[in-house]
Amino acid sequence: MGNLRTLLNKTEIFFPRHLNFTEVEGLFEHFFDNSMEITYWVNLSGWMNPGNPTPKGKYASEVTGKIRDRSPESKGVTMGSFECSTEPLEGFKGEIGPLPFYTNRFYGIKFGTIPGYDIEHHDDEEVNLWDKVRDLTEGYFSKEEK
């Protein structure tokens, strides 16, 4: 169980508050500005209901992608796949607030892992990538607080 908790602690990055898609893109730009190559995909969802005060709309319902460290000290070969969580991750401490179905709220980043593999089975370069993304995320929000 300890190994699973260690793996989750490395692969789940909480945001201090929920973000909308525009804010997620701002975080991705911060990654890019810090030598991270990022490719991401966005699924859009929408609704049309003539009886509603807001009869139609669309929102980002899912964000997934791949990220690679392109800094000089990195080998640049390891790529991590991720998803932005639309549900508060276990341990999320920010305010959840009301959740109407049509809003896009993202609570953190979850990196993909190999089912059944402990952290020791993951490449050191991959674990370093997770750590760097965590550090960049924390740095991004600490600047926001100032």
Residue 1 pLDDT level (bands cut at 50, 70, 90): very low
**Counted domains in the chain:** 1
* pLDDT greater at residue 80 or residue 114: 80
| Contact (CB, 8 A) for 105 and 84 | no
> Which of 2-6, 17-21, 46-50, 98-102 has the largest mean confidence?
17-21
Domain that holds residue 98: 2-145
* pLDDT greater at residue 17 or residue 5: 17
Q: CB count, 10 Å around CB of 79?
A: 15
Single out the residue of 97, 95, 109 nearest to residue 67, CA to CA: 109
Q: What is the mean pLDDT of residues 104-133?
A: 88
Residue 138 pLDDT level (bands cut at 50, 70, 90): very high
In this structure, of 17-21, 39-43, 58-62, the range with the lowest mean pLDDT score is 58-62
Q: How far is CA 116 from CA 109, 127, 128, in A?
A: 20, 16, 20
